[in-house]
Amino acid sequence: MRSVISKMCFCLLLFAMLRSRGCEGLGSEEAYVTLLYGDEFLLGVRVLGKSIRDTGSTRDMVVLVSDGVSDYAKQLLKADGWMVELISLLANPNQVRPQRFWGVYTKLKIFNMTRYKKVVYLDADTIVLKNIDELFKCGKFCANLKHSERLNSGVMVVEPSEAVFKDMMSKVNTLYSYTGGDQGFLNTYYAGFPNAHVFEPNMSLKELNERSEPEMERLSTLYNADVGLYMLANKWMVDEKELKVIHYTLGPLKPWDWWTAWLLKPVDLWQNVREQLEETLPGTGGGRNPNVQFVVKILFVLPLCALFLCYYQSCVKMNKDSLSSCCRISPCDYVRHIFYKFKSGGGLPVYSSVTSSSVANPMQQFANGAHPKVPAYLGGVSVVVCFMAALLSVALASAVVPRQVMPWTGLLLMYEWTFATFFIMFGSYLRVAYIWGKATGGRAGTAFTRSDSAEYNSGKGHQRHESDCDSSVWFYGTGMALLAVMTPSLPCLFGITALFTRLGLMVAGGIVLASFMTYASEHLAIRAFIRGLEERDLPRSRSICLLC
Ligand SMILES: *[C@@H]1O[C@H](CO)[C@@H](O)[C@H](O)[C@H]1NC(C)=O
Ligand SMILES: *[C@@H]1O[C@H](CO)[C@@H](O)[C@H](O)[C@H]1NC(C)=O
């Protein structure tokens, strides 16, 4: 009886062992592998996974994550279909190396993934366009030659082996690395790589089995097409239709940063995959991040609120008279104003106010002594302030806009924040110029009379001057805004994709914008100052919403 039971037990045990063996055999022996050091590249890994599945591959997808990766990121990747494996970082033995290379030797751990027969390693900044399952037929070590004679570790086929891994680990401290990272190490470790034969994906299984497996093989450029090289030549060195893997190598131009879509054409391919990302966790469809979505909404509303508050506050501060004049300034009224002027044959008001009056060259006029009260340096100071305000606005906007939003969202947010900040800063400066003018006028006392200021207006009535003034503010405001919008979109209008031509066009547009800003800032500040001079007797009623 006892022996029967023990026999049965033995059988069961055997069966269980066989089963587990069978399962292992059935399970994938080949896997796509990538590495994730921190949440910054999370979106990259998600897009990579989606692109692999889109090509119809059913191989395992393993992501090796280090301590720097959040639990949320791990959950999301699991939900996306990745197998998440925790690893500890391998310290970089090189003392002299770029800061960002502190953990890159960790990549060598793919040689230790011995439960797989073969792994295809892809960097998180790559994207797969066509099925690359044939890469699993590659030899013990395959990579792509780039930068003359050196292999690139962004796409590799590796046959994991404990012996190789141990050998590598024993040499990590002694072998020279030209980059100070894993790529340099691998180049020294696989010293004969440039002479390796090119991997032939069309080889039949029979041929594969008959040949002796080479130690290393080179992959065609199709498996690791470098965006950096595309950028230089503005085209792929290989047939674009044949491309299989694109590698977004350029340091500051990673495809998940919104601005790269406006600079590099190949990022479109990446963005297309990103838009199709499924909502595997709530709010993550299209590569979105629920937290960032919330921030984006606030960022859209905030500048509008700030502008409205400014406007409202300044209106409330004023007495009834100026309330009506303040509220008269609206784009609508401006358009109506232009329309009436146009109908009465007066041409555009902006031109009449700029050319017919003596304002065309304000500094010259004041230098001639028509307006001795206007400080000679006011124009120069205004230009400096204007450019500082513009720079600060752009800096603030780029600091505030989240990096991984969609390209359009990023662009709109950037414009909104730049314009709002600039408007508030330069508006405040004009207000200062106005108060300054008032103070100067007050000090000068009777030496400066109203008739002097009438001369500045070419004899136009006060009322008239005001409306001209409003329209000149709107003219310069819309002019600057239009130029600022036009400049980055010039390349799109002309259909230019070459990065350097794009940058050249933008620089040209920038010069036009800068000249316009120089003129406008000087003009507006002097107007505000003179307005202050004129109204030195009036109670302090005008406000920044008048801007001049
Ligand atoms: C390599 O793999 C083995 C077995 O999978 C494991 O025990 C070992 O810790 C790994 N080595 C490193 C350095 O990760
Ligand atoms: C490999 O095979 C495909 C079709 O099976 C063919 O289009 C391609 O030209 C072949 N490539 C080489 C290098 O022979």
Q: How far apart are CA 120 and CA 108, in angstroms?
A: 13
By residue range, what is the domain housing residue 83? 29-288
From 288, 319, 336, give the residue that closes a domain: 288
Element (H, E) at 127: strand 126-128
The reply to whether 383 and 526 lie within a common domain is: yes
Helices (H), 329-461: 331-343, 349-351, 362-367, 378-400, 407-444, 450-456
Average pLDDT over residues 245-253: 87
**Which of helix, strand or coil describes residue 14?**
helix
Ligand 2 centroid distance, CA of 202 (Å) = 6
Domain boundary among 288, 303, 333: 288
Asked if residue 241 is part of any domain, the answer here is yes
Tell how far the Cα of 113 is from the centroid of ligand 1, in angstroms: 8
Longest dimension (CA), the chain: 127
Tell me the pLDDT tens digit for each residue of 453-502: 444 444 334 444 455 556 777 888 888 889 888 888 887 788 777 778 88
Number of folded domains that form the chain: 2
In a domain, 5, yes or no: no
Q: Best substitution site from 112, 119, 170 to test ligand 1's pocket, by max atoms within 8 Å of Cβ?
A: 112
In a domain, 6, yes or no: no
Per-residue pLDDT, 182: 83
Taking the model in full, what pTM does it have?
0.77
Residues 246 and 181 reside in one and the same domain: yes
Residue whose CA is closest, atom 8 of ligand 1? 112
Contact (Cβ atoms closer than 8 angstroms) between residue 111 and residue 123:
no
* pLDDT tops 70 at residue 113: yes
How do residues 79-88 score in pLDDT, each as one tens digit?
999 999 998 8
- DSSP helix, strand, coil percent of the chain (3-state; round to 5): 60, 10, 30
Residues 449, 454, 456, CA angle at the centre, nearest 5°? 110
**Phi, psi (5° rounding) for residue 435?**
-65, -40
Q: Are residues 213 and 335 in the same domain?
A: no
Task: Categorize the per-residue pLDDT at 8 as very low, low, confident or very high, splitting at 50, 70 and 90.
Answer: low
Does 15 reside within a domain?
Answer: no
Residue 473 resides in a domain = yes
Query: In the predicted model, what is the mean pLDDT of the chain?
Result: 78
pLDDT of 326-368, one tens digit each? 444 455 555 565 555 555 544 333 333 333 333 434 444 444 4
Ligand 1 nearest atom to the CA of residue 109, by list position = 14
What is the band of 527 on the pLDDT scale with cuts at 50, 70, 90? confident
Q: Is the dihedral of CA 459, 462, 465, 467 positive or negative?
A: negative
Instruction: Note the pLDDT of residue 539.
Output: 59
Q: Are residues 264 and 301 in the same domain?
A: no
Q: Give the closest ligand to the alpha carbon of residue 222.
A: 2
CA distance 17 to 381: 84
**Which of the pair, 126 or 240, is modelled with greater confidence?**
126
Q: Residue 26: pLDDT band by 50, 70, 90 thresholds? A: very low
Task: Give the SS3 label for residue 167.
Answer: helix
| CATH code of 236's domain | 3.90.550.10
Out of 288, 320, 352, a domain closes at 288
Count CA atoms closer than 13 A to 69's CA, side-chain side.
23
* Confidence label for 197 from pLDDT (cuts 50, 70 and 90): confident
Let me know if residue 228 belongs to a domain: yes
Same domain, 282 and 297: no
217 and 316, same domain (yes or no): no
271 and 301 in a single domain? The answer is: no
